[in-house]
Amino acid sequence: MPVSPLQTILAEMDNAARAAGRPPARLLAVSKTQPADAVAALAAQGQVAFGENYVQEAAGKIAALSSRGLEWHLIGHLQSNKAEQAAQLFDWVQTVDRPKLVGALARHRPAARGPLNVLIQVNIDDEASKHGCAPEAVEALAAAIAAEPALRLRGLMAIPAPFPERARRQAAFARMRALHEALAAAHPTADTLSMGMSSDFPDAIAGGATMVRVGTALFGARGARPT
């Protein structure tokens, strides 16, 4: 019987963690632009957590697959005018990068759903084209999140610059790990460091990632975004 892409990725993740002496990382399947039936097929293989970039695109999939007990993460930039819907739809929001979002998500989180898991997105390489807060802004943003009963601070997320030099990418992972360790020392709920994608997740795990975000290696090349 052929080995599925999911089995291959999980084995590579396990190998990377063992080689680095790290705990196993969680796999977030990046399902943006994928149809609901592709998500359902992966869920049937045991994958539970899925990441979406766009609130509107995710809404249809979340509704269609509501009976499957899946865990949905927003991993795309969140506009303030989408915060209400995001707070109602998702289990996790990984891209909180400014104080305005903290209040908006907290106000609109339904009490019946329990606290919304939140990651602070960090622009670790100071890229003008990337969203995320500066590393020095993490402490204040974390305090604001921790002060909201409707939110649960779970850690940090980053998309390091795709430098061709592996050493530079590894250095970014190391900086994120140090930032996360400092955050976790002050906030014990901050147990998650989300970094690493299809092209670099073994290095990310070695560098301290507890969650990696993999799409292309699981689903194949991206399709067009649904309209």
The DSSP line for 69-132 is: --EEEE-S---GGGHHHHHHH-SEEEEE-SHHHHHHHHHHS-GGG-PEEEEEEE-TT--TT---
Mean pLDDT of 179-198: 97
Model pTM? 0.95
Residue 223 has pLDDT above 80, yes or no: no
Average pLDDT, the chain: 95
Reported confidence tier of residue 226, pLDDT bands at 50, 70, 90: very low
Distance CA 158, CA 125 (A): 9
Rounded Cα distance, 29 and 26, in Å: 10
The radius of gyration of the chain's CA atoms, rounded to the nearest angstrom, is 17
pLDDT of 222 reads 58
What's the rounded mean pLDDT across residues 173-183?
98
Q: What pLDDT was estimated at residue 49? A: 98
Q: Kindly state the DSSP code that residue 154 receives in the 8-state scheme.
A: E
d(CA 208, CA 186) in angstroms, rounded, equals 18
Per the CB < 8 A criterion, the answer to whether 5 and 52 are in contact is: no
Spell out where the chain has E strands: 26-30, 49-52, 71-74, 92-96, 116-122, 151-158, 192-194, 211-214
What's the pLDDT score for residue 227? 33
Over residues 154-167, the mean pLDDT reads: 94
Tell me, what's the pLDDT at 129?
83
Predicted pLDDT of residue 150: 98
CA distances from 51 to 63, 86, 193, 194 (A): 15, 13, 15, 12
For the cut 90, the answer to whether the pLDDT of residue 128 exceeds it is no
- pLDDT at position 225, please? 45
